[in-house]
Structure 1
Amino acid sequence: MGKSPNPRRYERDEAVASAKLLKTSPQKLNLVAKMIRGMPVGRADAALQFSKRRIANDVRKVLLSAVSNAENNHQLDVDQLFIKEAYVGKAMTLKRYRPRARGRMGKIFKHFSRLTIVLKQKDYSGDISPMEAARLAGEMAVVSPDEQTEMDAAAIDAAADTPEADNDAAGETAAEGKE
């Protein structure tokens, strides 16, 4: 009989990478993790690459490791990945002492942190428009000239139906009659 096996912690379309001993405090690491949560992978990589925080380079390494895991171990499409979770935990703390006045000792704490990044594949096929999918993927949308013409015509029709447009048109005809 015995115990049943542990349930699967992550879904099949998710990839995980973690770092166990990052030399920074959890508070400082959480600022960087908070910055990339929910972002598409490409945009998060660019944000980490140009961040001024020292720990951003280590976070970027973990992110790239998660992308490699997704691509090689789970056969996920890299272009459709986004950061589902990026959470920080406390690891060990080294305690050091520094001599102070009157024979006392001052405690120095050197904090270490853990970081786990979970990537998920987002399927943009049916639920939203291609332009919205491209925006979420952090890319520029490519719109054909026919689609652009239809969108422009719809915008002009919508603007012409507003009461402000009617007032402007009436004011223009009255001004032309006075001249």
Structure 2
Amino acid sequence: MQVKAINRFVRMSAFKLRDVARSIQGMPAEQALAVLAHYPKEGARHIRRTLASALANAENNHSLHRGDLFVKEALIGEAATIKRFQPKARGSAGPIRKRTSHIRIVLEQKEEK
């Protein structure tokens, strides 16, 4: 069974978040939480919150055990970009793009053989 959690419009660029998301794909969910707790990048905080939400969804909504879950997908998508302008020399303006992202984490239960 698959369980997912989505965190939308995170105020960080997808490029910065993808590096962190790649490091936890395929890991057991408990181990991924432990890794993210000590990961040196700020994006790990956002991904950790989404992973914790997915684990809570699995336990409360689907009655699954935390130890049986692993991270099947950790996808980072680009969201809307907030556009601002900063004054530059001689009356011109320079664009500032404040990028946002969507984080989607899918957990799956290990199949017993």
State the TM-score, normalized to the length of structure 1.
0.61
Alignment of 1:19-58 (within 5 A): 19-58=7-46
Question: 1:114 and 2:102 equivalent?
Answer: yes
Matched residues, number: 113
Report the residue type matching 2:88 in the other structure.
R
Q: 2:75 aligns with which of 87, 90, 102?
A: 87
Runs of 4+ in 1 over 4 A off after TM superposition: none
- Counterpart Cα distance in 2 of 1:24 and 1:58: 9
CA RMSD of aligned residues (A): 0.9
Q: Which has the larger radius of gyration?
A: 1
Report the residue type matching 1:105 in the other structure.
A
- Counterpart Cα distance in 2 of 1:15 and 1:74: 8
Q: Percent identity?
A: 42
SS at match of 2:50: helix
Which of the pair is proportionally richer in helix?
1
Ranges in structure 1 where 5+ consecutive residues have no aligned partner: 1-12, 127-179
SS at match of 2:85: strand
- Counterpart Cα distance in 2 of 1:52 and 1:62: 17
SS at match of 1:117: strand
- Counterpart Cα distance in 1 of 2:12 and 2:23: 16
Ranges in structure 2 where 5+ consecutive residues have no aligned partner: none
Which of the pair is proportionally richer in strand?
2
- Counterpart Cα distance in 1 of 2:6 and 2:87: 37
The structure with higher relative contact order (CA 8 Å, sep 6+) is 2
State the TM-score, normalized to the length of structure 2.
0.96
